[in-house]
A and B are shown apart, each in its own frame.
Chain A
Amino acid sequence: MKRNALVFVVLFVAILAMLASGRYLDRVRKHGPIKLVGNVQGVPAPDFTLPALDGSKVSLSDFRGKAVLLNFWATWCPPCKIEMPWFEDLQKQYAKDGLVVLGVALDDSAPATIAKFASELGVNYQVLLGTDQVSDDYGDVQYLPTTFYIARDGTIVDKMTGLLDRKDIEEAVKKTLGVTPKVGSVLQNQAKAEVKAVAVKAVSAGDATR
């Protein structure tokens, strides 16, 4: 009787594992592995190259040595609209210290509509046209606004979701500007990335059953 129960449990788990790995592999085939899940602090920010509203191509790696505020938003997201003027002010205030603000529009609207929206809000920072790939790379960004604070060495200092107080955003900017590359940080980051990769596989396998 006990043996039958054990066989049943093992079979059940094997089926779940097969379903999970099937979904995971399907996702990997379509988009590559999800790179950021869970606590992302200290993890290298995934690089990307996206079209900007002015037609140029912009890569995150272009800004190595700068602190980057990477904000995911959409024209249909009213809370996103509240933060954008704050980002403009912060860009003006902290540009001399090395802050770069990048907006990534996760939006099906035409680029002209996105440009008009940004212009009406007086956006003075670069707005890029997001893709599913970059959303996936940043942990399947679903909840907007979502903002990543990226240090000068390309590692993530913080991730914030939902509308926050301007004070909290400014604190995160200051923290990001204060984080400077340290000797050996590259090696530390590589080690963290390897640990993360193992965790990602485990979480993605679970996530794939959804």
Chain B
Amino acid sequence: MRCLTALPLAALLLAGLALAQAFGDKPPVIMAPIGKVQVRAGASKTINLDFRIGSEFHINSHTPKSPLLIPTVLKLTTPEQVTVADVKYPAGQDMSFPFSPDEKLSVYSGDFSINAVLKTPANITAGTYPVNGELRFQACDHSACYPPRSIPVQFQLTVVK
């Protein structure tokens, strides 16, 4: 009888552990949700994409100081009628770290924003268009580095006449 009582408790414990593991692998960078993005047909729209880097991490800027370092890059895929006219990255901060005190690296840390400029033609049909993409980055902490990885970037662009 005791075994029967203990079984569900053990099952719950195991399930809790499994769930804890399932959510334990958080990326070092997350993206803030994007609100409604609206553009008039024939016009351009600058969209601010806000990202937050975990407090113990930094990532290379879009223009790292060495060609061997992996830059942060935003890639967007748009429907045929919508074009990505420009992507503006913030300047990196020149920082040195305990692993290399004499060398300055160009990095992002904390919060940063990337501006994507989307352009629509005048003859585009009014409606909602999906924009998909990814932010690729390579993160390090004070003593080690993680392989490059990507997080998804997704939002809806509403075109009005």
Interface residues of A (CB under 8 A from B): 5-6, 9-10, 12-13, 16, 20, 74-82, 106, 109, 113, 117, 142-145, 161-164, 206-207, 209-210
Find chain A residues with CB under 8 A from B138 CB: 76
Find chain B residues with CB under 8 A from A161 CB: 144
| Cross-chain contact of A20 among B8, B18, B148 (Cβ < 8 A) | B18
Given the interface pairs A9-B11, A13-B11, A106-B147, the reply to whether A76 lies near B21 with Cβ below 8 Å is: no
Size of the chain B interface, CB-CB below 8 angstroms: 30
CB distance from A159 to the nearest CB of B (A): 13
Asked if B147 and A113 make an inter-chain contact with CB atoms under 8 angstroms apart, the answer reads no
Find chain B residues with CB under 8 A from A109 CB: 68
Query: Of all chain A residues, which has the CB nearest B4?
Result: A6
CB distance from B130 to the nearest CB of A (A): 28
Given the interface pairs A9-B8, A78-B103, the reply to whether A210 lies near B145 with Cβ below 8 Å is: no
Q: Which label, helix, strand, loop or mixed, suits the secondary structure of the B interface?
A: mixed
| Cross-chain contact of A76 among B25, B68, B144 (Cβ < 8 A) | B68
Which of chain B's residues 11-70 have a Cβ closer than 8 Å to chain A? Answer: 11-12, 14-15, 17-19, 21-22, 24-25, 68-70
Find chain B residues with CB under 8 A from A16 CB: 14-15, 18-19
Asked if A206 and B18 make an inter-chain contact with CB atoms under 8 angstroms apart, the answer reads yes
Q: Does B87 contact A (CB under 8 A)?
A: no
Contact bitstring B122-161, A, C-beta under 8 A = 1, else 0: 0000000000000000101101111110000000000000
Q: Does B93 contact A (CB under 8 A)?
A: no
Pick the 10 closest A-B CB pairs, nearest first: A162-B143, A162-B144, A79-B99, A77-B145, A13-B11, A163-B143, A75-B68, A209-B22, A9-B8, A209-B18
Q: A109-B68, A209-B22 are in contact. List 20 more A-B contacts (CB 8 A).
A: A5-B8, A9-B15, A10-B8, A13-B15, A16-B15, A76-B68, A76-B69, A78-B140, A78-B145, A79-B99, A80-B145, A113-B68, A143-B144, A163-B99, A163-B143, A164-B143, A209-B18, A209-B21, A210-B22, A210-B25
Asked if A79 and B140 make an inter-chain contact with CB atoms under 8 angstroms apart, the answer reads yes
CB distance from A163 to the nearest CB of B (A): 4
Which of chain B's residues 52-103 have a Cβ closer than 8 Å to chain A? Answer: 68-70, 97, 99-100, 103
CB distance from A34 to the nearest CB of B (A): 14
Find chain B residues with CB under 8 A from A13 CB: 11, 14-15
Q: Can you sample 29 A-B contacts with CB below 8 Å?
A: A6-B8, A9-B8, A13-B15, A16-B14, A16-B18, A74-B145, A76-B70, A76-B145, A77-B140, A77-B144, A78-B69, A78-B97, A78-B100, A78-B140, A79-B140, A80-B145, A82-B100, A106-B147, A109-B68, A143-B144, A143-B146, A162-B141, A162-B143, A162-B144, A163-B99, A206-B21, A207-B21, A209-B18, A210-B25
